[in-house]
Amino acid sequence: MKTLKVIKIGGNIIDDDVALQQFLQAFATIQGPKILVHGGGKLATKLAKKMQVEVKMVDGRRVTDADTLAIITMVYAGKINKNIVAQLQANNCNAIGFSGADGNTIVSNKRPVKTINYGFVGDVKKVNTETLEILLNNNITPVFCAITHDKKGQLLNTNADTVASEIAISFASVYNSELYYCFEKNGVLKDVNNDDSVIENINSKSYPLLIENGIIYEGMLPKLNNCFYAINNKVQKVCIGTSDMLFNANNKHTTITK
């Protein structure tokens, strides 16, 4: 089986023009089938402010009302996605930008209203790999923003980490599927203030202990839950670290294993 790399990048790369350019240059050199997933960075919040669209938070989580969804669609699927695609093309990587609506690739359910109404937020129901496989077989690189749809005409805001893990899982029967979460740190750190204190391996035995000891908390929890979800659903390799882990074999990072 061929290897497919699913690589997710976040704000530390997207919000920095130089970092993004350097990353895309390096990304373009990765051989074999690959899919890039990008988050939104700070641009959507900036645009919302400029347009005087109020950021609504419930229990510390952003609510996606119709205005916010419009902004997210413009920024994620428009500005960020197309600029990434254009830069990859400049580096001779034949990219095509995708939302989950394009090619009906990612179908979500609008999150049901229980105590909190998150608005136009989607939980992934199904990734349709058929069209993507055709493209990958033709040496084309899909670039996903974190917007999905409900197949009834509604776009939905979806967590980019989740989009990446769901894509990696859906391809695990076709490829040796590998999932890389790139962020600003070298990996999961023992000591959040020491960037060298990378925990090189986390497995399902050590994970609960790391939570218990307060080493993994807050924002790292959903990220690691996505990792374990992927590794427990046939994804062959799951890593967290800076994007350097993709290009330098000696670069320290965290690998998640069963």
Among 40, 97, 119, 187, binds a copy of itself (CB under 8 A): 97
Among 129, 131, 197, 236, binds a copy of itself (CB under 8 A): 131
Does position 89 interact with a copy of itself (CB under 8 A)? The reply is yes
Q: Are 183 and 192 in contact (CB under 8 A)?
A: no
Structure tokens at 216: 């993994």
Does position 26 interact with a copy of itself (CB under 8 A)? The reply is no
Structure tokens at 139: 């040496």
Q: Are 241 and 199 in contact (CB under 8 A)?
A: no
Q: At residue 127, what is the residue type?
A: V
- Separation of alpha carbons 168 and 142, rounded Å: 13
Q: Are 186 and 242 in contact (CB under 8 A)?
A: yes
Nearer to a copy of itself, 130 or 196 (CB): 130
Does position 83 interact with a copy of itself (CB under 8 A)? The reply is yes
Q: Are 124 and 63 in contact (CB under 8 A)?
A: no
CB of 91 to a copy of itself, least distance (A): 8
Q: 187: left (phi > 0), else alpha (psi -120 to 50), else beta?
A: left
Binding mask 36-75 for a copy of itself (x = CB under 8 A): -----------x--xx------------------x--xxx
Does position 116 interact with a copy of itself (CB under 8 A)? The reply is no
Nearer to a copy of itself, 90 or 192 (CB): 90
Does position 125 interact with a copy of itself (CB under 8 A)? The reply is no
Does position 87 interact with a copy of itself (CB under 8 A)? The reply is yes
Q: 60: left (phi > 0), else alpha (psi -120 to 50), else beta?
A: left
Q: Which stretch binds a copy of itself (CB under 8 A): 56-64, 82-90, 170-178, 220-228?
A: 82-90
Does position 17 interact with a copy of itself (CB under 8 A)? The reply is no
DSSP secondary-structure letter at 104? G
CB of 128 to a copy of itself, least distance (A): 10
- Separation of alpha carbons 96 and 104, rounded Å: 14
Q: Are 185 and 18 in contact (CB under 8 A)?
A: no
Binding site for a copy of itself (CB under 8 A): 47, 50-51, 70, 73-79, 81-83, 85-87, 89-90, 94-99, 101-104, 131, 134-135, 138, 140, 147, 149, 151-155
